[in-house]
Chain A
Amino acid sequence: MASGFLRRHSASLMLAPAMLLLAVFFLWPVLDLVRGSFAHPDGSLGQYERVFSRPAYVLVLQRTFLISGLTVLICAVIAYPVAYRLATASTTGKLVILAVILIPFWTNLLVLCYGWLIILSPTGTLNKALTGIGLIDNPLPLSGNMAGVLIGMVQTMLPYMVLPVAANMARIDPRIPQAARSLGAPPLQVFLRTWLPLTMSGVIAGGLLVFIMSIGFFIIPAILGGTKDIFIAQLIEMNINKVLNWGFAAALSTVVLVTTLVLYGVGVRWFGVDALWGRQ
Chain B
Amino acid sequence: MNGIPKDKTPGGLLTRRGLLSGAAAAGGVALAAPYYIRPAGAQSAGRVIYATWGGSWEEAIRKAWFEPFTAATGIEVVTAQDNTYGKFQSMVESGTTEWDVVEVNPDFTFIGAKRGLLEPLDFTVINREPIMEGEGFVTEYSVPQVLWSYVLGYNTDLLKTAPSGAVDMFNLTDFAGKRSIYSNPNSSALETALLADGVAPGDLYPMDIDRALAKLDEIRSDLIFYETNAQAQQYVSDGTAAMLIMPDGRAMSAIESGAPVAIQYNQSFMTWSSMVAPKGCPNRENAMKLLAWTMTPEAQAAIANAYTYGPVVPAAFDMIDEARANILSGGPQQQGKFIMLNAEWWAENYEDATERLTEWRLM
A240 interface residue (CB < 8 Å to B)? yes
Q: Determine the chain A residues whose CB is within 8 A of the CB of B320 once the complex forms.
A: none
In the complex formed, the residue of B with least CB distance to A253 is B27
Which residue of A123, A219, A244 is within 8 Å of B85 (Cβ)? A244
Q: Which of B152-187 contact A (CB under 8 A)?
A: 183-184
Expressed in whole angstroms, the minimum distance between the Cβ of A233 and any Cβ of chain B is 5
- Chain B residues near A233 (CB, 8 Å)? 21, 24-25
Cβ of A223 and Cβ of B362 under 8 Å apart?
Answer: no
A222 within 8 A of B: yes
A164 to B333, CA, bound (A): 61
Task: Confirm or deny: A121 has a beta carbon within 8 angstroms of a beta carbon on chain B.
Answer: yes
User: Is the beta-carbon distance between B15 and A110 smaller than 8 angstroms?
Assistant: yes
Task: Indicate if the CB atoms of B25 and A253 lie closer than 8 Å.
Answer: yes
Is there contact, CB below 8 Å, between B240 and A121?
A: yes
- Interface hit among B55-63, B94-102, B128-136, B224-232: B224-232
A142 to B: closest C-beta gap in Å: 12
**Cβ of B24 and Cβ of A253 under 8 Å apart?**
yes
- What is the bound-complex CA distance between A119 and B27, given in angstroms? 34
**Pair A240/B234 contact, Cβ less than 8 Å:** no
Given A227-B223, A240-B29, A59 contacting B358 (CB threshold 8 A): yes
Would you call A227 and B361 a contact (CB within 8 A)?
yes
Is A123 touching B239 in the complex (CB atoms < 8 A)? yes
A239 to B183, CA, bound (A): 15
Please measure, in the bound complex, the distance between the C-alpha atom of A107 and the C-alpha atom of B11, giving whole angstroms: 22
Q: Mark B1-36, 1 if CB is under 8 A from A, else 0.
A: 000000000110011011011101111110000000
- In whole angstroms, how far apart are the Cα atoms of A226 and B226 in the complex? 9
B86 pairs with A33, CB closer than 8 A: no
Name A220's closest neighbour in chain B (CB-CB): B21
How far does the alpha carbon of A226 sit from the alpha carbon of B235 in the complex, in Å? 13
**B interface residues, tally (CB under 8 Å):** 45
- CB pair A241 B85 closer than 8 Å: yes
| Bound CA–CA A249/B183 (angstroms) | 19
Q: Does B218 contact A (CB under 8 A)?
A: no
Chain B positions within 8 Å of A253 at CB level: 24-27
Chain A interface extent, by class: 35 or more
Separation of A141 and B50 alpha carbons in the complex (Å): 45
Cβ–Cβ < 8 Å partners of B361 in chain A: 227-228, 230
Give the CA-CA distance A59 to B26 in the complex, in Å: 21
Q: Which of A34, A59, A240 contacts B363 (CB 8 A)?
A: A59
Question: How long is the Cα–Cα vector from A222 to B230 in the complex, in angstroms?
Answer: 13
Q: Specify which of A59, A215, A227, A241 is in contact with B25 (CB 8 Å cutoff).
A: A215
Which residues of B sit under 8 angstroms from A76, Cβ to Cβ? none
Residues 196 to 222 of chain A near chain B (Cβ within 8 Å) = 215-219, 222
Is A140 in contact with chain B by the CB < 8 A criterion?
Answer: no
CB under 8 Å from chain A, chain B span 96-112: 111
User: Do B115 and A244 touch across chains, with their CB atoms under 8 A apart?
Assistant: yes
Bound form: Cα–Cα A162–B10 in Å: 37
Within the assembled complex, what's the spacing in Å between the Cα atoms of A65 and B21?
16
Of residues 288 through 323 on chain B, the ones whose CB sits less than 8 Å from some CB of chain A are none
Name the CB-closest residue of B to A223: B227
Q: Which of A34, A56, A218 contacts B21 (CB 8 A)?
A: A218
Instruction: Say whether A152 faces chain B, with CB atoms less than 8 Å apart.
Output: no
Contacts of B227 in A (CB 8 A): 222-223
Within A219-265, the residues touching B (CB, 8 Å) are: 219, 222-223, 226-228, 230, 232-233, 235-246, 249-250, 253-254, 256-257
Q: What would 21 A/B residue contacts be, using CB atoms closer than 8 Å?
A: A30-B28, A33-B28, A56-B359, A109-B18, A114-B230, A124-B238, A216-B24, A218-B17, A219-B14, A219-B21, A223-B227, A232-B25, A233-B24, A233-B25, A236-B25, A240-B20, A240-B86, A244-B86, A250-B27, A253-B26, A254-B27
B residues apposed to A, CB below 8 Å:
10-11, 14-15, 17-18, 20-22, 24-29, 84-86, 89, 111, 115, 183-184, 220, 223-225, 227-228, 230-231, 234, 238-240, 350-351, 354-356, 358-359, 361-363
Given contacts A59-B359, A121-B240, A144-B240, 10 further A-B contacts (CB under 8 A): A34-B27, A110-B15, A110-B18, A123-B240, A216-B21, A218-B18, A235-B358, A237-B17, A239-B351, A253-B24
